[in-house]
Amino acid sequence: MSARLDDFRGRYAAALAAYLKAPGEEALSAGYELGRAAVAEELGLLDLAAVHHEALAAALETGEPVETVDAAGDFFLESLSALEMFQRVLRDSRERALLERKHAEMLRRLSSFLADASLALDGTGSLEEILQLAAEHARELVDAERCCARVRLADGTAIDVVATAEPEADSLPEPSAQPARSSLVASLSALDGREIGLIQAFDKLEGDFSELDEAVLVQLAQMAAAAVERAQLYEARRI
């Protein structure tokens, strides 16, 4: 790092001196290229500022102070513009990579939900167990503090379950509880279009619910609705 910084320091001082001697677009563009080089060589804003300060101090020994400072400021801003632009590109690239990893993880968990729901249907699982699976997976997928799932039965009654970030706190929210800071809701719809229930997530643990969270909840709700209908058919055949 020290060797790279020393080399960069020399190139910056030479380019700044050339610009102060003969200001112009061509000489100013050298500042932009140095900003790009700073990114490539993994130098930060503080490194660039320190290098500029040293080069400016050297230039002040031979130039008119006011004119030199003004011109050097233009050169420094040109370098900063390149540094800022490339750092923004790098940040965007990292964010895209994180989002892609999140998508992959969500798909894995959605597949896991389908497998778990199928096991519940093939074993001694009940409709309530399938709903609990849906609520737990939904809460994890959208990183919510709690998630509730409800299914309305043919006789007019309903089954309600809840999954929370703290298992020991699993309980349905009381009507007098403090209102949720934020929430997402997705309907459970039967194949014929009837709304048979819903899944609702409350209070994202970090930040706000996103469009991606909403899309994932809708997709899981569709899977849950299909599993619920299969469970109801299974129960009907057993009776």
Instruction: Tell me the domain boundaries of the chain.
Output: 2-94, 124-238
Homologous superfamily of the 124-238 domain (CATH): GAF domain (3.30.450.40)
Sign of CA dihedral 76, 78, 84, 89: negative
Q: Of the candidates 185, 177, 181, which has an alpha carbon nearest to the alpha carbon of residue 204?
A: 181
Q: Are 31 and 15 in contact (CB under 8 A)?
A: yes
> What local confidence, expressed as pLDDT, does residue 186 receive?
95
Integer angstrom CA distances of residue 196 from 114, 158, 199, 231: 19, 10, 11, 13
pLDDT the model gives residue 211 = 85
Q: Which of 11-25, 71-85, 104-118, 181-195 has the lowest mean pLDDT?
A: 104-118
> Which pLDDT belongs to residue 156?
83
* pLDDT for residue 172: 46
For the chain, give the mean pLDDT: 78
CA distance linking residue 95 with residue 101, whole number of Å: 10
Dist CA 176 CA 162 (whole Å) = 17
Q: Whole-model pTM above 0.85? A: no
Cα 26 from Cα 42, distance rounded (Å)? 25
CA distance 187 to 190: 10
Pairing of strands 144-152, 158-164: antiparallel
Residues 6 or more apart whose CB falls under 8 angstroms from that of 198 comprise 149, 150, 185, 186, 187, 188, 221
pLDDT of 236 over the 70 cut: no
Which residue blocks in the chain are alpha helix, DSSP H?
Answer: 2-21, 25-40, 45-60, 65-122, 127-142, 211-238
